[in-house]
Amino acid sequence: MDATDAMSKPYYVTTPIYYVNDVPHIGHSYTTIAADVLARYFRADGRDVRFLTGTDEHGIKIVKAAGERGMSPKELADEVVVGFQELWKDLNITNDDFIRTSQERHERRVQEIIARLIERDEIYLGAYEGWYDEGQEEFITESAAAETEFKSAVNGKPLVRYQEPTYYFRLSNWVDKLIEYIEANPGCIQPQARRNEVLSKLRMGVDDLSISRLKEKLGGWGIEMPNDPTHSVYVWVDALSNYRTAIGWPEIGDEHDGVGAQYWPADVHLIGKDILWFHTVYWPAMLMALDEPVARCVFAHGWWTAEGKKMSKTLGNFISRETIAEICDEYSVDVYRYFLLRAVTFGADGDFSHEALQGRYNNELANGLGNLLNRTLNMINRYFDGVLPSGGDAGPEEQAVLDAADDLRQSATGAMENCDFGLYLDKVTDLIGATNRYIEVTAPFKLAKDESQSGRLGAILYTCAEAVRIILTYLSPLMPETMAAGLEQLDWKAPSEQTISDAGQWGQLPAGLKVMKPEPLFPRKQ
Ligand code: MSP
């Protein structure tokens, strides 16, 4: 692929669509921030990006939650969806679309998907008798139910016995194809441990999937099966379809038809580990049955606990939108975004604690990055009246900084393609460390005492400023506002068409820029 192809190549990233039975929390913000960082990175790299999020509004869980609050499901959804949309605005999320499964553009397309599956003889009428986890909206086999003593493996609530006629999707016919596909595409489920998990479960065999519920049991809420008005489409089949319906597929003759055809297959569906099976078995099997390409990657991240315990409203450690707002007020939205992606390897479980947040903030942001920017600008102000001196030839002392910058540039896109925020941030941190060490080693404050060293002093400060520019640029997808402020202090505005990979090339700051007096980006917290 040449450079122009790479630049125009579409990039499609999605989050799960969130249930509207309850309010948003840190877990939802985690996936959405991760998706936002990917979207911002690839946009900055010149790709044609589509970033989708939204809400999952059907299913028994929503019907019950609405009933408990004396509302209709639609009223509940209309109320809760605002909380999600506002949180995304507050967190500077740049989604290109927001899909609600109660929208007509979605409902009609889901019916078309089902109609096509029926046409292909992938669906038949049968009866379901067995267990259902209403919290997860999941059918549970007898043996799995027995293993968890007939309680939900996720929230511990009793499973519910269902006995009713249902339409089935011939999922079992697709198991071999799924195994073959997953084996042939090592990157299609990440992290690898999750891929192994799915493969071994698939090899144990899978039953056909119940894909409808009696409409009366859902109080009429849901998407009607196109072949039977007494049945509604199973909420997971409805929900998973959003990744395609939002980009105008299948065609149904409305204005959305084909709007985002170029974005499929999606590059990555970001999800939490509890919804892996739906995304790596039900969803690709549906697509295979329709003879459609499947998403390139499903990445399952871990779960957050808070202050060492599972989050719960009764324990008082639930990190709701209000708590997130308090954290963002105390630190900043950018610091919250940074912390979530920095504190935990993407894919692993993690714990949120105020102590850990403050520790990382002080060590990495205030002392590491903030201090580097302050020192650099202070010295340029003090020794060169704020005018950026010109660089010199790189000698052995510069090499470690140049190498770290080059390593960052070489690794960044691959790290983002693999959702490896840890590696990406390690490379940024390495450059910060190398530059701080460079200042210690070259000791510009000593050279400043000797007039004859002015050329060398200028070259050192240029090296620092250039490293800072690169660091701020690469941190921009994570901390857009703060990094923009930092770049302004450096008096640097990148050319509008410049991609992040080009921006990563050494030596772009022109001598003569008038840098500002530093204003701490991350004041230390006591
Ligand atoms: N509606 C379904 C998804 C349908 S996608 C086609 C759903 N919604 S959810 O609102 O219950 O969960 C959304 C996401 O939040 C899931 O990926 C889940 O893993 C994630 N999280 C819920 N609690 C979490 C934590 N404590 N930590 C991290 N993520 C967590 O499932």
User: Tens digit of pLDDT for each residue in 374-420?
Assistant: 999 999 999 999 999 999 998 999 999 999 999 999 999 999 999 99
The residue extents of the domains of the chain are: 354-503
User: Tens digit of pLDDT for each residue in 191-246?
Assistant: 999 999 999 999 999 999 999 999 999 999 999 999 999 999 999 999 999 999 99
Please report the pLDDT score of residue 2 as a whole number: 44
Q: What is the DSSP letter of 264?
A: P
Q: Say if ligand 1 is within 6 A of residue 16 CB.
A: yes
Q: Say if ligand 1 is within 6 A of residue 19 CB.
A: yes
Q: How far is CA 373 from the centre of its chain?
A: 28
Given CA atoms 470, 473, 478, 481 in this order, what sign does their dihedral have? positive
Q: Say if ligand 1 is within 6 A of residue 304 CB.
A: yes
Going by alpha carbons, the residue nearest to atom 10 of ligand 1 is: 18
The fourth-level CATH superfamily of domain 354-503 is Isoleucyl-tRNA Synthetase; Domain 1 (1.10.730.10)
The ligand 1 atom at the shortest distance from the C-alpha of residue 304 is: 27
Report residue 262 as tokens.
Answer: 């170029």
Q: Say if ligand 1 is within 6 A of residue 266 CB.
A: no
Q: Say if ligand 1 is within 6 A of residue 303 CB.
A: yes
Query: With contact defined as beta carbons under 8 Å apart, do 191 and 274 qualify?
Result: no
**Ligand 1: centre distance to CA 503 (Å):** 35
User: Tens digit of pLDDT for each residue in 420-467?
Assistant: 999 999 999 999 999 999 999 999 999 999 999 999 999 999 999 999
* DSSP-based three-state secondary structure for 233: strand
Task: Enumerate residue ranges in the chain where pLDDT < 70.
Answer: 1-7
Q: Say if ligand 1 is within 6 A of residue 56 CB.
A: yes
**Ligand 1: centre distance to CA 437 (Å):** 42
Please report the pLDDT score of residue 59 as a whole number: 95
Residue 389, preceding peptide bond in cis (omega within 30° of 0)? no
The residue length of the chain stands at 526
Please report the pLDDT score of residue 92 as a whole number: 98
CA of 353: how far to CAs of 76, 421, 463, in Å?
A: 31, 20, 37
Please report the pLDDT score of residue 453 as a whole number: 96
Q: Tell me the C-alpha distance between 246 and 162, whole Å.
A: 32
Q: Say if ligand 1 is within 6 A of residue 475 CB.
A: no
DSSP string, 366-409: IIIIIHHHHHHHHHHHHHHTTBPPPP----HHHHHHHHHHHHHH
Q: Say if ligand 1 is within 6 A of residue 91 CB.
A: no
Given CA atoms 175, 177, 182, 184 in this order, what sign does their dihedral have? positive
Ligand 1 pocket mutation, candidates 13, 14, 17, 18, criterion most atoms within 8 A of CB: 18
**Ligand 1: centre distance to CA 274 (Å):** 7
Q: Say if ligand 1 is within 6 A of residue 224 CB.
A: no
Going by alpha carbons, the residue nearest to atom 12 of ligand 1 is: 18
Q: Say if ligand 1 is within 6 A of residue 219 CB.
A: no
Given CA atoms 447, 449, 455, 460 in this order, what sign does their dihedral have? positive
Please report the pLDDT score of residue 313 as a whole number: 85
Q: Which residues contact 140 (CB under 8 A, 6 or more apart)?
A: 130, 131, 132, 133, 159
- Name the helix (H) or strand (E) containing 166: strand 160-169
Q: Tell me the C-alpha distance between 195 and 189, whole Å.
A: 5
